[in-house]
Amino acid sequence: MATNLFDLTGQTAVVIGGTGVLGGAMAQALAESGATVAILGRHAGRGAARVAEIAAAGGQAFFQMADSGDRESLLAARQAILARTGGVHSLVNAAGGNRPEATLPPGSDFCQLPQQAWRDVFDLNLVAGVLLPCQVFGETMLSQQQGSIINIASLSGILPLSRVVAYSAAKAAVINLTQFLAREWATRGIRVNAISPGFFPAEQNRPLLYEPDGVTPSARGKQIFSHTPMGRFGEKHELGGAVVWLASHRASSFVTGQNIVVDGGFTSVTI
């Protein structure tokens, strides 16, 4: 029997959005703890690069093409993963993000927010991000009577940030759905939790956090530093501990319905 609470040897972790910045770092952490990681995404080239990175660090991973906004695509991915691994122990739902059209320009009016942009952000974060993956991989976990689901929400789902209103509302719904599923499946062997990252520079938010030179923090970036007790953005590897803890049944067996905030203290203070 493993003596390390965080040892995931012999387990399969599915990371949707593992081709991205934060999902990739979480996939890396799970692999470092011994899990075989199935990276799901829509771009084979990015998937192959992530698998190579994990292999180079001594971990085990494979890429499975899937569009998590399409149930048929997820069902096909599930079948391929199960044929290869025989089971799924944890699921990280890291597909998500904001859309520039859904961000209110400075000084602009909420009443002008385009409805289509709102829908797109909800489709990405709530439907492709959580709903469909939880339904498809939840079915597998229910039949196994075992599993840990980790939904990636955001601190903006707790405190609505200015301008990114659709994103904040969608992430609030992700936290609520996490709590619903935790209650629904608590006696059926499945734990459902969320991780809410604070500000971590990644592809989709770089233009908001930095000036066009990519190194000087933007006015918004500076505002964030001044409100963050640790005075900096997060680094992607700093999400690894939370995801491994929640994935490990031995380490977090009595933890469900929780939202673990990793934000350098941003949500713990007020002005």
Ligand X SMILES: NC(=O)c1ccc[n+]([C@@H]2O[C@H](COP(=O)([O-])OP(=O)(O)OC[C@H]3O[C@@H](n4cnc5c(N)ncnc54)[C@H](OP(=O)(O)O)[C@@H]3O)[C@@H](O)[C@H]2O)c1
Pick the closer one to ligand X by CB: 122 or 199.
Answer: 199
How far is Cα 59 from Cα 253, in angstroms, rounded to an integer?
Answer: 25
Least separation in angstroms between residue 134's CB and ligand X is 14
- Report residue 55 as tokens: 């292999």
Which parts of 1-30 interact with ligand X (CB under 6 A)?
Answer: 16-17, 19-23
Over the window 203 to 242, marking each residue x when it contacts ligand X by CB under 6 A and - when it does not, the resulting string is xxx-------------------------------------
Give the C-alpha separation, 19 to 23, whole Å: 7
Can you tell me which of 199, 221, 224, 247 binds ligand X, judged by CB under 6 A? 199
| CB of 146 or CB of 218, closer to ligand X | 218
Question: Is 26:264 a contact under the CB 8 Å cutoff?
Answer: no
Spot the catalytic one: 63, 122, 167, 200: 167
Our answer to whether residue 167 is catalytic in this structure is yes
Instruction: Compare residues 128 and 149 and give the one whose CB is closer to ligand X.
Output: 128
Q: Identify residues 128-187 at the interface with ligand X (CB under 6 A).
A: 128-129, 152, 154
Instruction: Considering only residues 40 through 59, tell me which ones interact with ligand X, judged by CB under 6 A.
Output: 40-43, 46
- Across the beta sheet with 190-197, what order do the strands follow? 60-65, 36-41, 12-16, 90-93, 147-152, 190-197, 259-262
Residue type present at position 171: K
Interacting residues with ligand X (CB under 6 A): 16-17, 19-23, 40-43, 46, 66-69, 94-97, 124, 128-129, 152, 154, 197, 199-200, 202-205
